[in-house]
Amino acid sequence: MALTGIQIFKMLPKTNCKECGHPTCLAFAMALASGKAELASCPDVSDEAKEQLAEASAPPVRPMQIGAGDRSFKIGGETVLFRHEKTFLGSPGLGVLVSTDTDEGTLTEKLKVWDTFQFERVGFNLRPELVAIKDVNGDAGKFAALAKKVIDESNFCLVLMSEDVGVMKAGIDSCADRKPVIYAATKDNVDDMGALAKEKGLPLAIKADDMDGLMDLTGKLTGMGLKDLILDSNSRTVRRAFEDQIWLRREAIMKKNRALGFPTITFPCEMADNLDKETVIASMFIAKYAGIIILSDFIGESLFPLLVERLNIYTDPQRPMTVEQGIYEINGPDENSPVCITTNFALTYFIVSAEIDASRVPSWLLIMDTEGLSVMTAWAAGKFVGDAVGIFVNKSGIFDKVKHKKLIIPGYAAAISGDLEEEVKDSEILIGPRDASQITKFLKEFGV
Amino acid sequence: MAFEIPKINYTGKIKEITIGAGNKTATVGGRDCYPFHLFEGTMPHPPIIAMEIWDMEPDNWPEAAIEPFKDVISDPPAWAKKCVEEYGAQIIVVQLKSTDPNDKDRPVDEAADMAKKIVDAVPVPVVFWGTAVSEKDEQVLKKIAEVCEGENLSLSPVEEAIHKSVGASALGYRHTVVASTPIDINLAKQLNILLGNLGVQDEHLLIDPTTGGLGYGIEYAYSVMERLFQAGLTQEDDKLQIPMINNLGNEIWKCKEAGLPKDELPTMGEPGRRAILMEAVGAVCYLLAGSDILIMRHPESIKLAQEMINDLMAEN
């Protein structure tokens, strides 16, 4: 059971040294109790207290590493129900189902295709993480062979799906270094599956038909010393699955129920008869709390929207997304092409670059680092002002690429025109439109 | 100890709003819990997906978006009718694109004539959505309010700058005001108060929190909407107990990735299906964030989103 702030306070050194960033030990204790601080930031806490407090101060949803290598990822660790309270941390892994009646050649081909689904966006490489191998015929040899194929031919992480401990063992032995997730322990195999997971040091998913069933299993498994558990409440209708996600997260966060404080695994692939519908169900699980989401197939049309949604929902709500400062080429510009300047707020960049792109006018786009502020905010904050922009333009290297000195600035930053002209020698400053939707019109007229 | 469903206490309820008049109405709101949290509350009126049409032939739609409407796309009243008759639209949203002063700049009277024709053509309530150039929206929305007196249309976007004049027209000619603010809970509340002071009753109000596209700010809208419904439902903020409307299709289909041909980026697949799924995925986000009227474009994305609503509302 979780401790209260006062209970925690009694175990702290009470030096009020402020090293942890809190004004008093009591304030620190309160922050620990609500999962908003880490015990490690206290320099003087005793080992004994550490042990006692470790459990109480751990995040209400157990954080864990899934897989190994390039595509490994973290799930859990959440402390809130709504993303405006604090950034969601455990961005859910997306996986694809492969059953053991798939032949090995087909899997080879599919792995090649799935590996190509990688999308660059705001400095992130968006891609799915997992292949789930599902035992459908008790063929341990085939199970192991497919798992081995995944690690030999790709860097996907794995979920191994079988309720037969013998089959599971064969699978694990063929891909142990990739740290597969074991799916699943049930009330019928919990002792053996638990022992196997413990021996191999792997995360173990458990499946039960209701919350009481899940709590029985987590109680038993944590008693055996297992820590990294993943929950499947076995609901396969949209409404029940949605409710379960809400209940599990609330139990962990509001009730501090450690027995349900684990990430979840979900199966849109078992909830719909076509991939479009699976995709919208998966989008619900991205917004509402899944740790792992398994689809029946990966295709670009479905993955791209899901990966972008995941990126958006799991960004820090307090810190705007940014793009790299620098020179961006759009539509193959040359030495006579127009030069546009704007800020590095990701939305500003996306919208401006998309409009320039759509105009088909070859252009240079200079993106200046304004710490993610949009044009008006950056200008108001003194970050997008004449001398600053001028210094950036001069250093950017743009004048090695063009032979004119016309600079187009955002309409909302018209006021910086004079200072900028002074800062950039021989320049001519043109005031662009205030709204990006007018860029095409502006550039076309500029070209004339 | 046996599991008990972890419920929270609600102290408020989203108001029930009826748009349209006579036998052409639709009702939203009335919800006394977070969206689809039916284990601890009720949603007497599930969210409605409204279908958008343009008041002119669109010149920048990807092929996949034009395809279902290609026989009617240059005839707005016929287009609106098709949405109702063939796709079962319960609400029609007319995007007043022709009035954009930076583009076609159709005169106010002509725009209002077209608006009236569309309203007369369909047996469902109509929402009119301007181009967010407030000087022009002000004139156009006022005129539409006048020529469609008593229809209880929804007029959007009513930003603070034009709330007095459009609000007064809505009052005088009996329409609903869509109060539009830029992704900010305090501004949303303030505008609702200002409209209230003007005499616009909550029963004639919808909130447009500003809608971001997938990958283009959806997370900002998503979070501000969660904060809005939390304020209304758990913090007794009665100025925020107003249903929300989201102009989604327009945002999704104008983004670059919705139209990108397959040969430019083969891994993103066929542009049509990609855009349909982008719209459907965006729709799920907005439904979970508490949207009451979700404006969408493609019949297939609408079908997917509607199935999600049905599934989330299904009896256990």
Compute the nearest-CA separation of A41 from chain B (Å): 30
Q: Of the candidates A83, A239, A276, which has its C-beta nearest B316's C-beta?
A: A239
Half-sphere exposure of A108 (CA within 13 A, CB side): 5
Interface contact A283-B284, CB threshold 8 A? yes
Instruction: Give the pLDDT mean for A343-364.
Output: 90
The Cα–Cα gap between A438 and A340 comes to 13
B38-313: CATH topology is TIM Barrel (3.20.20)
Compute the nearest-CA separation of A182 from chain B (Å): 26
Instruction: For B76-143, give the DSSP string.
Output: HHHHHHHHHHHH--SSEEEE-GGG-TTTT---HHHHHHHHHHHHHH-SS-EEEE--S-HHHHHHHHHH
End-to-end CA distance of chain B: 24
For chain B, the structural domain boundaries read 38-313
Which of B38, B222, B235 is the best substitution to test chain A (most A C-beta atoms within 10 A)? B222
Confidence of residue B316 (pLDDT cuts 50, 70, 90): confident
Compute the nearest-CA separation of A318 from chain B (Å): 10
Percent of chain A residues topping a pLDDT of 90: 77
Interface contact B284-A306, CB threshold 8 A? no
What the block records as the tokens of B235 is 């913090």
Confidence of residue A447 (pLDDT cuts 50, 70, 90): low
User: Nearest to residue A405, comparing CAs of A448, A364, A356?
Assistant: A364
User: Nearest to residue B61, comparing CAs of B254, B262, B275?
Assistant: B254
Collect all residues of chain B within an 8 Å Cβ-Cβ radius of residue A312. Answer: 214-215, 218-219, 222
Is the pLDDT confidence value at A84 over 80? yes
Is the pLDDT confidence value at A388 over 90? yes
> Looking at residue B216, what DSSP letter applies?
B
Interface contact A312-B6, CB threshold 8 A? no
Instruction: For A317-358, give the DSSP string.
Output: TTS--B--SEEEEES---TTS-EEEEE-BHHHHHHHHHHHHH
User: Nearest to residue B92, comparing CAs of B54, B37, B140?
Assistant: B54
For chain A, the structural domain boundaries read 5-56, 64-314, 326-446
Q: Which of A100-114, A306-320, B269-283 has the lowest mean pLDDT?
A: A306-320
Q: Of the candidates B276, B281, B311, which has its C-beta nearest A306's C-beta?
A: B281
Instruction: Give the pLDDT mean for B288-298.
Output: 98
What the block records as the tokens of A227 is 């820590």
Interface contact A312-B218, CB threshold 8 A? yes
Percent of chain B residues topping a pLDDT of 70: 100
Average pLDDT, chain B: 96
Collect all residues of chain A within an 8 Å Cβ-Cβ radius of residue B307. Answer: 277, 280
Collect all residues of chain B within an 8 Å Cβ-Cβ radius of residue A283. Answer: 280-281, 284-285
What the block records as the tokens of B61 is 């739609």
Backbone angles phi, psi at B122, to 5 degrees: -120, 150
The Cα–Cα gap between A325 and A380 comes to 20
What the block records as the tokens of B202 is 């909550």
Is the pLDDT confidence value at A57 over 80? no
Which residues lie closer than 8 Å to A429 by C-beta, 6 or more apart?
A406, A407, A409, A417, A420, A421
pLDDT of residue B149: 98
The Cα–Cα gap between A352 and A438 comes to 10
Count interface pairs A-B at CB distance under 8 A: 150
What the block records as the tokens of B248 is 């989604």
Interface contact A308-B274, CB threshold 8 A? no
B45: contact with A, CB 8 A cutoff: no
Query: How many degrees, rounded to 5, is the angle at CA A175 between CA A172 and CA A179?
Result: 80
The Cα–Cα gap between A131 and A279 comes to 17
B36: contact with A, CB 8 A cutoff: yes
Q: Please give the CATH architecture assigned to the domain spanning A5-56.
A: Orthogonal Bundle (1.10)
Half-sphere exposure of B151 (CA within 13 A, CB side): 23
Interface contact B308-A238, CB threshold 8 A? yes
Collect all residues of chain A within an 8 Å Cβ-Cβ radius of residue B266. Answer: 300
Q: Of the candidates B39, B269, B285, which has its C-beta nearest A299's C-beta?
A: B269
Q: Which of A166-175, B17-26, B239-248, B262-271 has the lowest mean pLDDT?
A: B262-271
Is the pLDDT confidence value at A434 over 90? no
CA nearest B212 in A: which residue? Answer: A347
Q: Write down the pTM of the prediction.
A: 0.90
CA nearest A308 in B: which residue? Answer: B215
Is the pLDDT confidence value at A378 over 70? yes
Compute the nearest-CA separation of B277 from chain A (Å): 6
Burial string for A85-106 (b: 16+ CB within 10 Å, else e) reads: ebebbbbbbbbbbbbbebeeee
pLDDT of residue A2: 61
Interface contact A121-B3, CB threshold 8 A? no
pLDDT in tens, B40-87: 999 999 999 999 999 999 998 999 999 999 999 999 999 999 999 999
Q: Which residue has the higher pLDDT, A445 or A285?
A: A285
Compute the nearest-CA separation of A305 from chain B (Å): 5
Write down the CATH superfamily of domain A64-314: Dihydropteroate synthase-like (3.20.20.20)
B183: contact with A, CB 8 A cutoff: no
Is the pLDDT confidence value at A234 over 70? yes
CATH of domain A326-446: 3.40.50.11600
Asked whether B211 and B251 are in contact (CB, 8 A), the reply is yes
Asked whether A390 and A368 are in contact (CB, 8 A), the reply is no
What the block records as the tokens of B292 is 């009451």
Compute the nearest-CA separation of A378 from chain B (Å): 17
Place of tokens 């290609």: B70
The Cα–Cα gap between B279 and A312 comes to 15
Collect all residues of chain B within an 8 Å Cβ-Cβ radius of residue A238. Answer: 308, 311-312, 314
Interface contact A84-B37, CB threshold 8 A? no
Interface confidence, given as ipTM, is: 0.98
> Looking at residue A3, what DSSP letter applies?
P
Is the pLDDT confidence value at A1 over 50? no
Instruction: Give the pLDDT mean for B129-149.
Output: 96
Instruction: Give the pLDDT mean for B290-311.
Output: 98
Compute the nearest-CA separation of A316 from chain B (Å): 10
Collect all residues of chain B within an 8 Å Cβ-Cβ radius of residue A309. Answer: 214, 218, 281-282, 285
Interface contact A83-B226, CB threshold 8 A? yes
Helical (H) or strand (E) element with A133: strand A130-134
B268: contact with A, CB 8 A cutoff: yes
Which residues lie closer than 8 Å to B107 by C-beta, 6 or more apart?
none
The Cα–Cα gap between B238 and B11 comes to 10
CA nearest A304 in B: which residue? Answer: B268
Which residues lie closer than 8 Å to A448 by C-beta, 6 or more apart?
none
Asked whether B269 and B247 are in contact (CB, 8 A), the reply is no
Question: Which B residues, 83 through 102, put their C-beta within 8 Å of a C-beta on chain A?
Answer: 102
Q: Of the candidates A243, A300, A354, which has its C-beta nearest B255's C-beta?
A: A354
The Cα–Cα gap between B208 and B198 comes to 19
Asked whether B136 and B145 are in contact (CB, 8 A), the reply is no
Collect all residues of chain A within an 8 Å Cβ-Cβ radius of residue B230. Answer: 82
Asked whether B62 and B278 are in contact (CB, 8 A), the reply is no
Compute the nearest-CA separation of B65 from chain A (Å): 16
Interface contact A237-B313, CB threshold 8 A? no
Which of B278, B309, B310, B315 is the best substitution to test chain A (most A C-beta atoms within 10 A)? B278
Q: How many CB atoms lie within 10 A of CB A216?
A: 16
- Examine domains A5-56 and A326-446 and report if their fold is the same: no
Interface contact B284-A237, CB threshold 8 A? no
Asked whether A143 and A100 are in contact (CB, 8 A), the reply is yes
Interface contact A239-B38, CB threshold 8 A? yes
Collect all residues of chain A within an 8 Å Cβ-Cβ radius of residue B102. Answer: 435, 437-438, 441
